[in-house]
Chains A and B, each alone.
Chain A
Amino acid sequence: MSSFLSVRDLKVHFPTVDGIVKATDGLSFDLERGKTLGIVGESGSGKSVSSSAILGLHRRTSAQVSGEIMLDGVDLLKLSDEDMRRRRGKDVAMIFQDPLSAMHPYYTVGNQIGEAYRVHHDVSKKVARARAIEMLDRVGIPQPDRRVDDYPHQFSGGMRQRAMIAMGLINNPSLLIADEPTTALDVTVQAQILDLLQDLQRDFDAAVIIITHDLGVVAEMTDDVLVMYAGRAVEYGSCKEILTHPEMPYTWGLISSIPDVSGDTSAQLIPIPGNPPSLLNPPSGCAFHPRCTHRDKVPGDLCTTVLPELLPGTRTEGHLKRCHLTNPDVVYEREILPEIAPDLVEER
């Protein structure tokens, strides 16, 4: 039996005058109801483009989307525009990154939340408004019956994000995509929002995709993790596996660049050198090779000429990685771990 959400070989290509931008190039993953998938990567790695494809937000005139997105047995990519529109916001909902710009400045919060309800339910404005108040209450907005008539700019950042969540969940979606839901918020509010998301996921039994570049969020929220680089998955597996035994130098870089808030001053914060690659002219071979510090461990010019397959890693079947290194686990333990978490190494 296939999964609730099953994405196979998803490609999102944007034709431009300079050539084709391959924003997502062959992405596959699965997700069950009640589970959470984290998609991690730098800006421009294809996270948001891929999730927008699941929502069918790309315009046919500007983007070529191919592959297969099976949701509950239906291939979303084969649906007509109108059928897809009917599912959008109802079966699949999305919470956007910056709630200030993601909400229309000229309409009240209640209007915008209610609108999301009325699109899919033939009810009066009054009913929609009541439902909006209910949802605002649900996401923890105090005095929702009053705040419902406020404009987005009158809300604090955290409240706006709660309102966005209310908007996303008002139709009981079975799949919720949260695109950087906490990036624009300060740390204490981040935690509240994440808690809220977890609570709601439990209540609604939705499948959730969280798009983030913050491995802290991943650690707290997700069951599975998909690491993306240059439009492709470079590592995929359970949250625990990926965070404790990453086998791809890019993932190592991500982990190394997390500031350690536990107060361990001996830990180093190591940024990934270089810049994300151009999607118009991706590097030959492994897209990460220009920035990879472990290239010399691979014989010959394999890294620069041959694109590595996404294959099971050294530890478990379910842990996939896209790298030519033959012994990534050893490299990680010997070279990376001591630098980012010396205390952890000593404990062992």
Chain B
Amino acid sequence: MFAYVIRRVFIGVILLIVMSLVTFVLFFASPVDPGRYACGKNCSPAQIEQTNKALGYDKPVIEQWTDFLKGVVVGREYPDDPALRAAAPQLVVECPAPCLGYSVVNSVTVNEELKERFPLSLSLALAALLMWVTGGVLFGVIAAVRKGTIVDRGIVALSLIFYAFPAFFIGLFLLKFVAIKWEIVPVPVYTPIAEGGLGLWLQGLFLPGLTLALLYMAGYVRMTRAFVLESMSEDYVRTARAKGLKSRKVLTKHSMRAALTPLVTMIGLDFAGLMGGAIITETVFNYNGLGKLAVDATVTYDLPTIIGLVLLLGTFVIVANIIVDVLYAVIDPRVRVG
């Protein structure tokens, strides 16, 4: 198992390196000139060229990429111009390893940006996860147990409806009506636990979390229902019933245990994706997490931030994959010892 994890981590690192290269190449394949954007109005071509030089965008793509990799390994200093650094040490921004770059647009290192934004996305992902897994499994199991009844049909129909709605619709609806019009809850504002305690933290997370939860829950209801129905026709569930187990016990101990295993994979991957930021939900609720950062970075041609986000999200997905695989071994003894 240990060797397996090591191998997976190794492959993951290679994957991340390739991802960073692809992002570099894609960014420079677009005809957009980041220097012109940064230089501002009334810039002559010579000034734009100089701005590009100052941002390091004049170097060949491969060289920029190797500089980036070097920064990840040993760290970097900004500005990129050694003469300027020597002449004006007060300008120097230290970016220790693993340095993901310096965002000229936001005047801060990418590492700091990500560090600042990550807790929001993580909180949001956690809140959403909690709601959608609880709701999804609960309603999914109810639908499966009451298969064919009006309850089942209602749950399936509702989940289909939510499934069909785009995230911004649910989000806008909740924000516009539940928070602003009807004033049932305050307009959500993220408050770290350290500042406002658990209560304010949860209050701020409720609506955006619910938006994501409703979105994901729909899929989880339908999957849970299908998996539970499938497992209820398994031979070992019949065995459990033949033993005289109460049907609740059959459901919880035998049927659901097997049904929820495939859900673990999906939960892991969905959660990893969400930690990388929920672009639409964060924008609607003005949640300054990684998703909103991604939007802003794309709009402002902020290459270092884009690269950092790509790599972070890539890392999440790779790590989640490894964790899910390890978790699988814990859950399923056949994988563990077999």
Q: Which residues of A contact B (CB under 8 A)?
A: 52, 55, 57, 61, 85-90, 93-94, 96-98, 101-106, 112, 115-116, 119-120, 151, 153-154, 167
Contacts and interface: CB of A to CB of B under 8 A. Distances in A.
A193 to B, nearest CB: 17
30 contacts: A57-B241, A57-B242, A88-B242, A88-B243, A88-B244, A89-B243, A89-B244, A90-B244, A93-B242, A94-B242, A96-B235, A96-B239, A102-B235, A102-B236, A103-B236, A104-B236, A105-B332, A105-B333, A105-B334, A106-B257, A106-B261, A106-B332, A115-B240, A115-B245, A116-B243, A116-B244, A119-B243, A153-B333, A153-B334, A167-B239
A57 B257 contact: no
Helix, strand, loop or mixed for chain B's interface?
Answer: helix
B162 to A, nearest CB: 28
Contact of A55 (B240, B242, B257, B333): B242
Interface in B242-273: 242-246, 254, 257-258, 261
B73 interface: no
B245 A151 contact: no
A52 B233 CA distance: 14
B332 to A, nearest CB: 6
A90 B334 CA distance: 30
Nearest to A116: B243
Interface string B103-124: 0000000000000000000000
Q: Which of B234, B235, B236, B338 has the most CB of A within 10 A?
A: B236
B238 A151 contact: no
A57 B243 contact: no
A102 B243 CA distance: 12
Nearest to B332: A106
Interface string B304-338: 00000000000000000000000000011110011
B166 interface: no
B235 A98 contact: yes
Contacts of A98: 235
Nearest to A108: B333
B148 interface: yes
Contacts of B243: 88-89, 115-116, 119, 167
Contacts of B246: 85
B262 to A, nearest CB: 13
Closest 7 CB pairs of A and B: A89-B244, A88-B244, A89-B243, A101-B235, A104-B236, A102-B235, A116-B243
Given A105-B332, A115-B245, A57 B238 contact: yes
A171 B294 CA distance: 63
Given A93-B242, A104-B254, A119-B244, 16 more contacts: A52-B238, A55-B242, A57-B242, A89-B244, A101-B234, A102-B235, A103-B236, A104-B236, A104-B240, A105-B236, A105-B334, A106-B258, A115-B240, A116-B243, A153-B334, A153-B338
Nearest to A119: B244
A55 B246 CA distance: 14
Contacts of A103: 236, 239
B48 to A, nearest CB: 64
A112 B257 CA distance: 14
A89 B245 CA distance: 9
B242 to A, nearest CB: 5
